[in-house]
Amino acid sequence: MSSSTIPTLTILHFTPYAGFGGTERAILNICSATRQCCHMVWFEKTGPIINEFKRRGIRTYVSSDLISGQGKSMRLMIPPSDIFHIHLLGYGEALYKISLRLKRPSLLTLHSRSILPRMNTPIVCVSNTAAAVQERSNTIHVIHNGVKVEDYPQCAGPKEKKIIIRVCRPSRCAQYFLDALKPVLEHFPECELWLVGEDGDSSKQVKYFGVRSDVPALLAKASIFAYAPTPEMGSHDLSVLEAMAAGVTPVVTDVPCVNESVEHMRNGLLVPYGDSQAFSEALIGLLRDEVTRKRLSEAARHTVLERFSSEKMGCAYETLYRTLAVTDRNLPLLSGSFSPQ
């Protein structure tokens, strides 16, 4: 069957988040990569990334837009779709019950390593480590986050200056991160540290950029992506994949949310979590060794192309959507409990 004869499926995504976090960007990537589907996104509340969805022609809703009536007659008017796709960091019983009452196929993508209860809705985990801890009776699929490499151009010539960049919410990074960077900046007074996603008072060497929508342009100017995520954070960090796609060599702590994509001395550097000195030394060594830095940079970009491309992710989701479209999984809610990881 040619692509022109494949019926288009309508997918309604739900997320409680509307910032520029990894979950929201992952949804945007799914919408862009699954071209045989028509996507709509239902946000629980308004936020800055909604404009980016609109700019790409993706229909968006906020919960307040879907409420009809008042008091006891109040109703939530959920748009019709072929598939209801929930994106969460943990279990939401109320939302799961809504998905069952919709009488349409649904699935849940888990963007963390939370342990979900026994469910009849298929679960997509974005990492193998998240899948490994799930209830065995659940239907689990692993679809890694994907990035469109073309959206992350590399700098054509030599970098103007040595720039170390970090892109994350501050709470996701170890508290010792800035202390670990102090000796690095002392060794290289011409080097700058760019902190994207965090506000602060910039200095000659440390620049705060706050939340930005032009991350690809900032990454293109950087030499190293430095990040010290904590062991309990995340499932498959999208910011690291984006840096790798831009050919920015990652130096990160060796924790589950990054070590499925970063391999030590193959496409980046992994440093034991909690070892501030080792983190400093890894950065200093890489700044001194341009040959190794270039080799790891090229390997990082190649890794995303081969294993974590948006095309690969999109193909996996489209296959799952079409399987669900002909399978009735709207069964009664089964009780259970979960423990966040």
Q: Residue ranges per domain, the chain?
A: 3-146+310-325, 149-307
Query: Regarding predicted confidence, which is higher, 1 or 76?
Result: 76
Cβ-in-10-Å burial (0-12, 13-18, 19+) of 291 comes to exposed
Distances (CA, A) of 273 to 137, 146, 248, 277, 325: 33, 25, 21, 11, 43
Cβ-in-10-Å burial (0-12, 13-18, 19+) of 230 comes to middle
pLDDT digits (tens, 9 = 90+) for 319-334: 999 999 887 544 332 2
Q: Strand 83-88 vs strand 75-76: parallel, antiparallel, or unpaired?
A: unpaired
Quote the pLDDT of residue 55. 95
CATH of domain 149-307: 3.40.50.2000
Using a pLDDT cut of 90, give the percent of the chain over it: 76
Enumerate long-range contacts of 138-141, CB under 8 Å, 24 or more apart.
Answer: 141/316, 141/320
Choose among 289, 294, 192: nearest CA to 247: 294
Could you tell me the pTM of the whole model? 0.89
Q: List, edge to edge, every strand of the sheet that includes 163-167.
A: 206-210, 192-196, 163-167, 224-227, 249-253, 269-271
Quote the pLDDT of residue 2. 46
For residue 236, pLDDT beyond 70: yes
Q: Do domains 3-146+310-325 and 149-307 have the same CATH topology?
A: yes
For residue 338, pLDDT beyond 50: no
Residue 118 near residue 79, CB atoms below 8 Å: no
- Residue 254: pLDDT band (50, 70, 90) is very high
pLDDT digits (tens, 9 = 90+) for 50-94: 999 999 999 999 998 888 877 777 777 888 899 999 999 888 777
Tell me what the mean pLDDT of segment 87-106 comes to: 79
Quote the pLDDT of residue 97. 75
pLDDT digits (tens, 9 = 90+) for 142-188: 999 999 999 998 865 567 789 999 999 999 999 999 999 999 999 99
Cβ-in-10-Å burial (0-12, 13-18, 19+) of 149 comes to buried
Instruction: State phi, psi for 149 to the nearest 5 degrees.
Output: -60, -35
Quote the pLDDT of residue 337. 25
Q: Select the CATH number that applies to the domain covering 3-146+310-325 from these four: 3.30.420.140, 3.40.50.2000, 3.20.20.70, 3.30.43.10.
A: 3.40.50.2000
Using a pLDDT cut of 70, give the percent of the chain over it: 92
In DSSP terms, 142 is beta-bridged to 125
Measure the CA dihedral 323/61/100/118, to 10°: 80
Tell me what the mean pLDDT of segment 239-260 comes to: 96
Quote the pLDDT of residue 6. 64
Query: Regarding predicted confidence, which is higher, 227 or 331?
Result: 227
- Residue 31: pLDDT band (50, 70, 90) is very high
- Residue 126: pLDDT band (50, 70, 90) is very high
- Residue 5: pLDDT band (50, 70, 90) is low
Distances (CA, A) of 11 to 21, 78, 252, 321: 21, 12, 35, 8
* Residue 78, CA atoms < 13 Å, CB-side half-sphere: 21
pLDDT digits (tens, 9 = 90+) for 264-311: 999 999 999 999 999 999 999 999 999 999 999 999 999 999 999 999
Using alpha carbons only, what angle is made at residue 53 by residues 149 and 170, rounded to the nearest 5 degrees?
70
Quote the pLDDT of residue 333. 29
Q: Strand 83-88 vs strand 106-110: parallel, antiparallel, or unpaired?
A: parallel
Quote the pLDDT of residue 195. 98
- Residue 200: pLDDT band (50, 70, 90) is very high
- Residue 213: pLDDT band (50, 70, 90) is confident
The overall average pLDDT reported for the chain is 89
